[in-house]
């Protein structure tokens, strides 16, 4: 295989060698089903529980609060659907019983009829316009089922507006979902403040921490997060594995029904190698976290500075302050981001024009438009995301190549 320089760690990451090493036995000698009664099964079961303990320790939470899923998308779907179906129902009941008081809100305003029946209420979710499609598309589907959704705007720097959040809360609000860090522009959201608003109003708070976990410290209890989604493949772990954190006391309802795996909350034979690999990646990422943040911030700033000073017409997208250490996103005037990505690929350099999930479609990035960029600026945006293995030599080579290719694209125009 040809040598590549990989600068697309927000899309996915290369598993650490130790991750593969940890996984291999569970694809070979230790292939048992964790539900089997004999020793081979017990070995797998213990590996799953050990992985749960390892992951819980990185978050300062109890192991019982971690539910393994197939990834971030499933965890996001679970959190949203759970909150609407179960918590929403409970809230409607409590409201009807008079156990929930809403300042200045009448029953009529809350959408309740005389008996306070659930059928007559439209549960309400608050989220942001810059969420990942795993959240946005689920919200769209919920809207089709009659759920009301408020999509909060962000400012030009890509940070959600908390005043708008306060104003959006109403008696029917069953969930507030705000991502930890954005997958395109890397902006870190005011999660603690948003969770406080949720808590004050007795509303569940969900956070999509897929881009944050393993990149910056994440402490759901301190932040007041009720539900949190994480994915294994963004932190040098395997694909197809992730988890939902559901704080103690949450009466979680099943995502999948069948066997009794994951305390009957997520049925299906466990992805043992994936779970073990994700835990190994989580352990390593957290062990090296401080050094990783320091190295990536330095390298990112150096790389960014080269692009900004050496290429005319480069504009940073998103805050320069509250941003993931490894994220660079900029628009390069007069250059098509997709064309630049394709030319860089020919030179063995991997970056993104938008988030990987919408790459390949002609749709403009909803994040670029949300921060007020014009369609031209959105089309000329590129995302470069660093990982622990990137070096200054790679950054220099990529910066030189980008400068050369931008010139070529501009001359061809
Ligand atoms: N949420 C965010 C913020 C993401 O960046 C991604 C993946 O890019 C997901 C959710 C989906 O995670 P997964 O790929 O594990 O389904």
CA of 11 to the centre of ligand 1 (A): 8
pLDDT above 50 for 112: no
What pLDDT, on the 0 to 100 scale, is given for residue 89? 63
Mean pLDDT in residue range 183-205? 96
Q: How far is CA 349 from CA 200, 326, 396, in A?
A: 47, 16, 12
- Strand 242-246 and strand 66-69: the pairing is antiparallel
Confidence of residue 1 (pLDDT cuts 50, 70, 90): low
- Average pLDDT over the chain reads 91
Q: How far is CA 405 from CA 298, 376, 394, in A?
A: 25, 19, 16
pLDDT above 80 for 22: yes
Confidence of residue 98 (pLDDT cuts 50, 70, 90): low
DSSP 48-110: HHHHHHHHHHHHTS-GGGEEEESSHHHHHHHHHHHIIIIIHHHHHHHHHHT-S--TT--TTTT
CA of 184 to the centre of ligand 1 (A): 11
Which residues have a Cβ under 8 Å from the Cβ of 399 and sit 6 or more positions away? 303, 306, 307, 310
pLDDT above 60 for 58: yes
Pocket mutation for ligand 1, best pick of 188, 211, 233, 354 (most atoms within 8 Å of C-beta):
211
CA of 208 to the centre of ligand 1 (A): 8
What pLDDT, on the 0 to 100 scale, is given for residue 107? 43
Helix (H/G/I), strand (E/B), else coil: 134: helix
pLDDT above 70 for 211: yes
pLDDT above 50 for 102: no
Mean pLDDT in residue range 7-12? 98
pLDDT above 80 for 362: no
Contact 211, 324 (CB under 8 A): yes
CA of 359 to the centre of ligand 1 (A): 14
The tens digit of pLDDT for each residue in 217-267 reads 999 999 999 999 999 999 999 999 999 999 999 989 999 999 999 999 999
Rounded distance, CA 40 to CA 341, Å? 47
Max CA distance (Å), the chain: 70
The tens digit of pLDDT for each residue in 375-400 reads 999 999 999 999 999 999 999 999 99
- Ligand 1, pocket residues at CB < 6 Å: 71-73, 76, 132, 134, 179, 183, 208, 210-211, 231, 242, 357
CB-side exposure of 405: number of CA atoms within 13 Å? 22
Mean pLDDT in residue range 153-164? 96
Quickly count: other Cβ atoms within 10 Å of residue 146's Cβ.
11
pLDDT above 80 for 361: no
Q: Residue 211 has which token pair?
A: 């881009």
Q: How far is CA 132 from CA 67, 68, 138, 255, in A?
A: 21, 20, 10, 20
What pLDDT, on the 0 to 100 scale, is given for residue 100? 52
Helix (H/G/I), strand (E/B), else coil: 209: coil
Pocket mutation for ligand 1, best pick of 13, 68, 72, 354 (most atoms within 8 Å of C-beta):
72
Q: What is the number of the ligand 1 atom nearest to the C-alpha of 183?
A: 5
Q: Which of 44-48, 85-89, 166-170, 359-363 has the lowest mean pLDDT?
A: 359-363
pLDDT above 90 for 87: no
Angle at 182 between CA 379 and CA 196, to 5 degrees: 145
Per the annotation, the verdict on 350 as an active-site residue is no
Helix (H/G/I), strand (E/B), else coil: 341: helix
Confidence of residue 200 (pLDDT cuts 50, 70, 90): very high
Residue nearest to atom 12 of ligand 1 (CA): 72
What pLDDT, on the 0 to 100 scale, is given for residue 251? 84
Rounded distance, CA 30 to CA 27, Å? 7
Q: What are phi and psi of 225, to 5 degrees?
A: -85, 135
* Residue, of 86 and 69, whose pLDDT is higher: 69
Helix (H/G/I), strand (E/B), else coil: 126: strand
Using the Cα atoms of residue 153, residue 156, residue 159 and residue 164 in order, give the sign of their dihedral: negative
Mean pLDDT in residue range 12-31? 98
Confidence of residue 360 (pLDDT cuts 50, 70, 90): low
CA of 209 to the centre of ligand 1 (A): 9
Pocket mutation for ligand 1, best pick of 79, 183, 282, 352 (most atoms within 8 Å of C-beta):
183
CA of 134 to the centre of ligand 1 (A): 7
The tens digit of pLDDT for each residue in 275-332 reads 999 999 999 999 999 999 999 999 999 999 999 999 999 999 999 999 999 999 999 9
What pLDDT, on the 0 to 100 scale, is given for residue 118? 46
Confidence of residue 3 (pLDDT cuts 50, 70, 90): confident
């Amino acid at each position: 295989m040809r040598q590549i320089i990989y600068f697309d760690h927000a899309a996915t990451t290369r598993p650490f060698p130790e991750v593969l090493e940890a996984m291999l036995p569970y694809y070979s000698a230790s292939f048992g089903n964790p539900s089997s009664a004999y020793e081979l099964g017990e070995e797998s079961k213990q590996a799953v529980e050990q992985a749960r303990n390892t992951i819980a320790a990185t978050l300062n939470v109890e192991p019982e609060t971690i539910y393994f899923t197939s990834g971030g998308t499933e965890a996001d779907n679970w959190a949203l659907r759970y909150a609407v179906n179960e918590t929403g129902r409970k809230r409607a009941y409590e409201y009807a019983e008079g156990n929930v008081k809403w300042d200045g809100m009448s029953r009529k305003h809350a959408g309740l009829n005389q008996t306070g029946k659930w059928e007559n209420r439209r549960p309400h979710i608050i989220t942001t316009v810059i969420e990942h499609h795993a959240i946005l598309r689920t919200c769209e589907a919920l809207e089709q089922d009659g759920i009301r959704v408020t999509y909060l705007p962000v400012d030009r720097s890509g940070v959600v507006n908390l005043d708008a959040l306060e104003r959006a809360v109403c008696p029917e609000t069953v969930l507030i979902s705000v991502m930890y860090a954005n997958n395109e522009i890397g902006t870190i959201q005011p999660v603690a403040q948003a969770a406080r608003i949720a808590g004050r109003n007795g509303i569940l708070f969900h956070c999509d921490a897929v881009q944050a976990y393993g990149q910056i410290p994440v402490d759901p209890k301190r932040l007041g997060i009720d539900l949190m989604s994480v994915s294994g493949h963004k932190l040098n772990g395997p694909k197809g594995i992730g988890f939902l954190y559901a704080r103690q006391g949450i009466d979680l309802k099943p995502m999948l029904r069948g066997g009794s795996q994951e305390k009957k909350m997520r049925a299906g034979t466990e992805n043992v190698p994936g779970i073990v690999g994700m835990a190994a990646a989580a352990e390593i990422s957290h062990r090296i976290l401080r050094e990783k943040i320091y190295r990536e911030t330095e390298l990112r700033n150096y790389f960014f500075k080269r692009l900004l000073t050496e290429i005319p017409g480069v504009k940073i997208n998103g805050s320069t302050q509250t941003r993931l250490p490894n994220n660079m996103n900029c628009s390069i005037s007069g250059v098509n981001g997709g064309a630049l990505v394709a030319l860089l690929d020919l030179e063995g350099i991997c970056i993104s024009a938008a988030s990987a999930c919408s790459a390949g479609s002609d749709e403009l990035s909803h994040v670029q438009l949300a921060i007020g960029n014009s369609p031209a600026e959105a089309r000329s945006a590129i995302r470069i995301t660093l990982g622990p293995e990137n070096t200054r030599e790679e950054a220099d080579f990529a910066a030189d190549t980008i400068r050369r290719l931008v010139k070529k694209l501009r001359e061809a125009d």
